[in-house]
């Protein structure tokens, strides 16, 4: 299991369009699960509704947890995507 932390800097937060990109990215890592945690809530990063339910706004610290055969690659890819928002 690998965990990374990042602060969301997107002015609009993590809304539907970037959440959809994130879901697509996470689903490309077969056999590896990715979870996002923020403000005491946790969501499967392969679930659009789960991500949106977190209500991630600009300035929110996010914990990315990946587990599986490609966990390092998946965590880094999710971190990079969020950092580019």
DSSP conformation class of 40? T
As beta bridge partners, residue 34 has 66
pLDDT of residue 63: 98
List domains and CATH numbers for the chain: 2-83 (3.30.1340.10)
Per-residue pLDDT of the chain (85 residues; tens, 9 = 90+): 999 999 999 999 999 999 999 999 999 999 999 999 999 999 999 999 999 999 999 999 999 999 999 999 999 999 999 999 9
Strands (E), the chain: 2-7, 33-38, 41-44, 61-67
| pTM of the complete model | 0.96
pLDDT of residue 38: 98
Angstrom distance (rounded) from CA 17 to CA 32 = 23
pLDDT of residue 28: 98
pLDDT of residue 26: 98
8 A C-beta contact, residue 5 and residue 64:
yes
Q: For the beta carbon of residue 67, count every other beta carbon within 10 angstroms.
A: 16
Residues taking part in catalysis? 15
């Amino acid at each position: 299991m690998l965990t990374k932390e990042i602060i969301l800097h997107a002015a609009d937060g993590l809304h539907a369009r970037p959440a959809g990109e994130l879901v697509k990215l996470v689903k490309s890592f077969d056999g590896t699960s990715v979870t996002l945690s923020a403000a005491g809530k946790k969501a499967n990063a392969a679930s659009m509704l789960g991500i949106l339910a977190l209500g991630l706004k600009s300035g929110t610290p996010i914990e990315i947890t990946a587990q599986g055969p490609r966990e390092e690659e998946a965590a880094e890819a999710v971190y990079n995507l969020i950092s580019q928002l």
